[in-house]
């Protein structure tokens, strides 16, 4: 649920944060804080989603917060944009090569010339991301995008385990994908578009493992569940899945 304010603080400052959050709410603003975290979903994912949906970030800075890894995690450093336009739906006119990576801290464009960039992630001292319209995984090298490998589909969703990158891939949508580099490459390739994910060795760019999903056509995001085996998945129409879902009233 979108909020007006994302409130970031260290647990040692909780009492002050509660007072500040209450003051903001009395002023008519909706506030997200760690009190809204739900069990069963990775905390970093919930924090990232809440940041993206909040209108403003308020960080309670103290000696304790500067030592907190979670407050540092709350700080959004980079985001991706399909294009820069002042027109409503202006990005739809021609998205090829118009995508950018925006440096939030410096308030500037860090890299341009991308096509549907997605999923920026810090790893190993580099900012990794997906150049989705090209089906590429790569990282920022200065102000340029350095591709490491390409995928048989629209790349979207990125996670890491050690040196391994797990990349989600989707079949290009008809209409939206027409004219994109990934669409032209798939038309001329012997490898058909796929939905699933690939495990990439970031040191070599080689695909170490792959997983294809038949039926669904798109992957929007992925997360790694450490030390989990024999994980089961349930559809939203499953009575079992309903037991794990909750709604705010």
CA distance 169 to 172: 9
pLDDT tens, residue by residue, 131-152:
998 989 999 999 999 999 998 8
CA distance 7 to 74: 9
In terms of residue numbers, what domain contains 179?
A: 117-242
Give the dihedral sign, CA 188/82/84/165.
Answer: negative
- Co-location of 53 and 125 in the same domain: no
Share of the chain above pLDDT 70, in %: 83
- Asked, for residue 92, whether it belongs to a domain, the answer is no
pLDDT tens, residue by residue, 14-49:
888 899 999 999 999 999 888 888 877 777 778 877
Question: Is 81 strand, coil or helix?
Answer: strand
Res. 238: pLDDT tops 80:
no
- Asked, for residue 100, whether it belongs to a domain, the answer is no
> Domain tally for the chain?
2
Res. 105: pLDDT tops 80:
no
Query: Which one, of 87, 89, 88, 78, lies nearest residue 117 by Cα?
Result: 78
Two structure tokens written together for 182:
């990934």
CA distance 169 to 122: 20
Mean pLDDT value across residues 218-238? 77
Chain mean position to CA 29:
26
- Co-location of 127 and 230 in the same domain: yes
- Co-location of 158 and 230 in the same domain: yes
CA distance 156 to 133: 10
Q: Where are the beta strands (DSSP E) in the chain?
A: 5-8, 31-32, 56-59, 78-81, 99-103, 108-114, 117-123, 126-131, 136-141, 144-150, 154-161, 164-170, 196-201, 207-212
- Co-location of 129 and 205 in the same domain: yes
**What is the structure's pLDDT at 101?**
92
Burial 86-119 (b: 16+ CB within 10 A, else e): eeeeebeeebeebbbbbbeeeeeebbbebbbbbb
CA distance 126 to 136: 16
Mean pLDDT value across residues 90-116? 83
- Asked, for residue 247, whether it belongs to a domain, the answer is no
- Asked, for residue 109, whether it belongs to a domain, the answer is no
CA distance 59 to 173: 39
**Last-in-domain residue among 19, 52, 74:** 74
- Co-location of 126 and 19 in the same domain: no
């Amino acid at each position: 649920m979108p909020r007006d304010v994302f409130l970031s603080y260290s647990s040692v400052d909780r009492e002050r944060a509660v007072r500040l959050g209450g003051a903001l709410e009395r002023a008519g603003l909706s506030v997200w804080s760690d009190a809204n975290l739900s069990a069963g979903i990775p905390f970093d994912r919930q924090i990232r989603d809440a940041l993206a949906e909040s209108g403003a970030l308020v960080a309670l800075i103290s000696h304790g917060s500067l030592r907190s890894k979670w407050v540092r995690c709350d700080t959004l450093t980079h985001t991706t944009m399909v294009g820069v336009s002042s027109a409503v739906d202006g990005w739809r006119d021609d998205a090829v090569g118009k995508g950018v990576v925006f440096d939030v801290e410096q308030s500037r464009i860090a890299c341009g010339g991308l096509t549907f960039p997605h999923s920026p992630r810090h790893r190993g001292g580099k900012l990794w991301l997906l150049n989705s319209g090209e089906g590429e995984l790569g990282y920022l090298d200065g102000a340029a995008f350095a591709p490491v490998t390409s995928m048989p589909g629209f790349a979207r969703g990125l996670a890491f385990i050690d040196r391994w990158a797990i990349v989600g891939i989707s079949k290009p949508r008809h209409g939206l994908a027409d004219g994109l580099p990934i669409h032209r490459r798939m038309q001329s390739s012997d490898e058909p578009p796929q939905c699933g994910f690939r495990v990439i060795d970031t040191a070599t760019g080689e695909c170490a493992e792959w997983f294809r999903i038949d039926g669904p056509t798109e992957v929007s995001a992925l997360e790694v569940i450490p030390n989990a085996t024999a994980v089961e998945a349930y559809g939203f129409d499953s009575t079992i899945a309903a037991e794990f879902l909750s709604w705010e009233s």
